[in-house]
Amino acid sequence: MPETKMTSFLNRMKLTNEFTESLSKFLQDHGIRVCGFGTEVIFRQKSSMSALIKKEKFKKSAAALMVKFSPDLVCAYPVIKGEKGIFFLDAKTSITPVFFGHHIERLRRLAKLPELRREDIGEIEREAWDVYNQFYPPERVAIVMACPYQPKLVVGEWVSRIFQFFRLKRDRNLEAGGSGTPHVNIHLGKMRSLDKFLNEEFGVRVNQDSYRAMRDAIKTWEISKSAGTVNWTQFNNAITELKATCPWLKHRWPMQDSSSAKLSQFTSDQK
């Protein structure tokens, strides 16, 4: 088995896009109207504009950031009249927990949260977080995050109510195994489950069959292991800990180790 298909940015983006489509249908089935609003919709087929805002000299431009990190959706719930029935929504996925215990301890100290657990730690791009807070009304921007290592599996909350407990100050995360994009850490455990969020904020009674189907799909997502930064023992030790609250998670080993284990088991069975 390769380390994970999700080490690729394109594959992670594909997973998020598929979740966004699934979430959009789920919301529409519950009477919430949905309209695309992300960068792809704003630029449509204008690839030259999309390339322009990614240039180094525009990376700190407020206008470029506002477009680049615009929320995925504009939503309206007609049952609620006025501004309270209209909101932005950004759909996110998280498949990579914090693997190193010493980093979790560091986050606990910085956040002054001794009870902070591995499954509570989520991550959002730092510039995206700033855009939600500075260029949009944070009390009307909802983050919905699907995460197979969080017991609730899919959580939703207003940006204004999300607890951010760590912010990377450098412009590159040298400890990350991927792109090194600077991030903020948020507390997933303090966010509401999606069905509770929709019910408490809009009075929506979620169809539990379709909600269960969404959650079951998230349970099948493979936890990502960054190549070269996390070894297989560290990966599986983290999975063992997470399985206490997320029993659907699976241990994994590289192909050669898996084959050796199977051969060893077959030999033992023959004795």
Nearest-10 crossing angle of helices 194-202, 208-219: 150
Residues 6+ apart with CB under 8 A from 64: 52, 53, 58
Residues 6+ apart with CB under 8 A from 66: 131, 135
CA atoms within a 13 Å half-sphere pointing along the CA-CB vector of 157: 20
Q: What is the pLDDT along the chain (271 residues), one digit of tens a residue?
A: 233 454 555 678 899 999 999 999 999 999 999 999 977 777 766 666 666 666 766 677 888 888 888 999 999 999 999 889 999 999 999 999 999 999 999 999 988 999 999 999 999 999 999 999 999 999 999 999 999 999 999 999 999 999 999 999 976 554 554 556 899 999 999 999 999 999 999 999 999 999 999 999 999 999 998 777 899 999 999 999 999 999 999 999 886 444 444 434 434 343 3
CA–centroid distance for 210 within its chain = 20
pTM metric for this prediction: 0.85
Q: State the DSSP H helix or E strand holding residue 123, giving kind and residue range, or none if neither.
A: strand 121-125
| Tokens describing residue 162 | 């999300």
Residues 6+ apart with CB under 8 A from 199: 205, 206
Spatial CA neighbour of 143 closest among 103, 190, 178: 190
